[in-house]
Structure 1
């Protein structure tokens, strides 16, 4: 059984990996680069497993390996990996060695397209909506069609896979961003989805999609919502939600142009994942390649097609965070069975939240739901954010199920 946890580099200390092994985990994913984030939401703003630093705001787009500056010197400064100023030394090397010493599988966790600082420095490398604006706020993504972006990512994956003898390479944020539309509808979120930059337009033409035509159709949807939301109360009752999701289904069934655009975006993401995976396998043929994916019921909105991705990677981790985000635990059996249907026999790991407001009782309930599903394992996000009571529950559950 795959038993994993995610680890932030600033929580990695001399005894961290040893303790993770004693709890019963057999895989540890450590971020090799990261973005600006603080653990204040949706958690309690406390790092439970770092006594030296109970609160931390991550550096923007820092990398945690000894990056060779010459390799990236021809790239724009905002696309070059910047070594962490706070976490000193080659943490990736120390991490891989510590995992080997403790008989744990080392996983290099690589947040791929989420890169706020670069997009703020040059919107030209970021995704653009139908109005030429980036669709996210504090969650800004690079465009996978941009040749400079692809080169920067390829060079980083190449360096990591050449330098370190890891067991697994895990691609995260290899998708389009969620579109914040709290008081809108699923159709409005779709209409504001990216990307319509010049590089996507060039690729779409080769694919047989006219993005200008798609843009016109999506702008009509936006204008319809301008009128609708100006004259309608905001509703959240079940009957209303059924109606707006049924309208999304009707629109997609009838809209061949938008369906082709959605398929094109999935091809763009899959193409990037395929290229990066080839680099990993060429330099470290013994390593597994995995991807962190959105739950399959909504992944298509973000450019992640499970069937296509299953042909590229060795396994998939589906993030299903329930209580902290106000989601139903029923999503665990539903999404895991849907994912299994789409992935075939590929490795399927369910990613669960383990930080407050999750309690030991919540941890046990969700773990047993995973056991009763067709998944091959579980991952808990994240080690540093998890209080001792929850870790003790995880340790007990791992002992009960054995290997």
Structure 2
């Protein structure tokens, strides 16, 4: 049941025959997770070029919808449609036509709270602790977000026939994006979140005061003091729990609304590794009550998929301060590695990160949850890729999900296939 992620540009630029031929070298791929709407991400990330794309060396994600939905602009919110769709191209229809009736199963992959949305953004966007909107992020507690996705999923099912979807970006913002800024973590303070926090007796004024103190401490390079606050302060812990409840309730309500009619839709989860998930509002125990399957991404070479270097370089501008910030980062996220920042920049986390995170996912998830371990398939050599595959297979995960097809060099497809035949 191993899978791989595909982006719209892979299908449009390379064609399905070329994709299937390349995937056949891997030997064990039967699930294609096809992106329906992009995020603001460079393809490939963060540098390099698309190694086998005949048309584009680099593709910039623009947060747009790559599916043909007739009623996409109706309602309080909608997502902007990509120009390729308006020009008559339809990657999801193309891959459906060429995979229906084969052993390949398509799982559309949908980014929920992050993208180029339009309509009544003022009443639905994420607001930081200073009262400023976080661009391109919708709030899970906002009034119109679930209705947007209820209509979208029904339209997707009606148009393309798929009943299982991988939902991604079901969280509050992290510190990365078009630019690096930790203020994405210091959210959300929109009217809807404020009202719910008040109902839970969260002292919002004191919370904002505390967050402002943390910002001052960060500017003073008091990283360990900030970590102590984030791990131990009762008000901050209450707020972190509120954020986790917000995301869990959002997914629960979304699942309820999309299944009001026949209950046929299934939503699988794309989550951050447990090291970081808690600070972004993701609670594995609660979320896996709602879904039978999940994928997370313990990419050890990249620090678990997080832009660790971006954050450290944002916070600290000298080697000494960067080492201090990185040490605090490891402590905050319970990463028990005797590792300097310079070593991390060269090698990433130890390979043990893969098994450690997968085992924690199993421990925190509901019994029977199908767990995909995300496998980094770019900016890595064949030996490093096989090392990650071996570590994942020796962990508590059920299967592998590679990220991603379009960014991987041809030797990596071959290496996976050769490794598979040796088993």
**Which TM class, normalised by the smaller chain length?**
0.7 to 0.9
Q: How much does 1:273 deviate? A: 1.2
1:208 to 186, 201, 210: 201
Partner of 1:267: 245
What secondary structure does 1:63 align onto? coil
Greater CA deviation, 339-348 or 98-107? 98-107
Relative to 1, partners in 2 of residues 1:57 and 1:371: Cα closer, same or farther, differing over 3 Å? same
Structure 2 residues without counterparts, runs of 5 or longer? 304-344
Aligned residue pairs total 369
Instruction: Check if 1:56 corresponds to 2:55.
Output: no
Q: How much does 1:320 deviate? A: 1.7
What secondary structure does 1:316 align onto? strand
Partner of 1:349: 372
Distance in 2 separating the partners of 1:176 and 1:270: 12
Q: How much does 1:152 deviate? A: 1.8
Partner of 1:252: 231
2:286 to 301, 308, 311: 308
So what's the TM-score if we normalise by structure 1? 0.82
Instruction: Check if 1:32 corresponds to 2:36.
Output: yes
**TM alignment of 1:129-208, pairs within 5 A:** 129-134=128-133, 140-166=136-162, 168-179=164-175, 193-208=186-201
Q: How much does 1:41 deviate? A: 3.1
Greater CA deviation, 359-368 or 151-160? 151-160
Conservation of the 8 A alpha-carbon contact between 2:65 and 2:82: yes
Structure 1 residues without counterparts, runs of 5 or longer? 233-240
Conservation of the 8 A alpha-carbon contact between 1:129 and 1:194: yes
Greater CA deviation, 108-117 or 384-393? 108-117
Distance in 1 separating the partners of 2:133 and 2:118: 12
Instruction: Check if 1:68 corresponds to 2:70.
Output: yes
1:15 to 14, 17, 32: 17
Partner of 2:382: 360
Conservation of the 8 A alpha-carbon contact between 1:62 and 1:84: yes
Distance in 2 separating the partners of 1:300 and 1:90: 36
Relative to 1, partners in 2 of residues 1:135 and 1:33: Cα closer, same or farther, differing over 3 Å? closer
Partner of 2:98: 98
Q: How much does 1:346 deviate? A: 0.5
What secondary structure does 2:60 align onto? coil
What secondary structure does 2:137 align onto? coil
Distance in 1 separating the partners of 2:83 and 2:50: 20
Conservation of the 8 A alpha-carbon contact between 2:16 and 2:95: no
Q: How much does 1:16 deviate? A: 4.3
Distance in 2 separating the partners of 1:175 and 1:111: 10
Distance in 2 separating the partners of 1:256 and 1:104: 49
Q: How much does 1:125 deviate? A: 3.3
Deviation string, structure 1 residues 355-398 (Cα, Å, up to 9, x no partner): 12x01111111000011001001111110111100011122233
Relative to 1, partners in 2 of residues 1:179 and 1:378: Cα closer, same or farther, differing over 3 Å? same
Distance in 2 separating the partners of 1:270 and 1:288: 16
Partner of 1:114: 114
Coordinate RMSD, CA, aligned: 2.9
Deviation string, structure 1 residues 120-156 (Cα, Å, up to 9, x no partner): x9565321221112457xxx42111111233222321
1:80 to 78, 81, 89: 78
Partner of 2:254: 276
What secondary structure does 1:127 align onto? strand
Distance in 1 separating the partners of 2:60 and 2:216: 39
Q: How much does 1:160 deviate? A: 1.6
Deviation string, structure 1 residues 194-236 (Cα, Å, up to 9, x no partner): 101111111222333233332122223223444x33xx7xxxx
Partner of 2:397: 375
What secondary structure does 2:390 align onto? helix
Greater CA deviation, 145-154 or 188-197? 188-197
Distance in 1 separating the partners of 2:155 and 2:196: 27
Conservation of the 8 A alpha-carbon contact between 1:277 and 1:289: yes
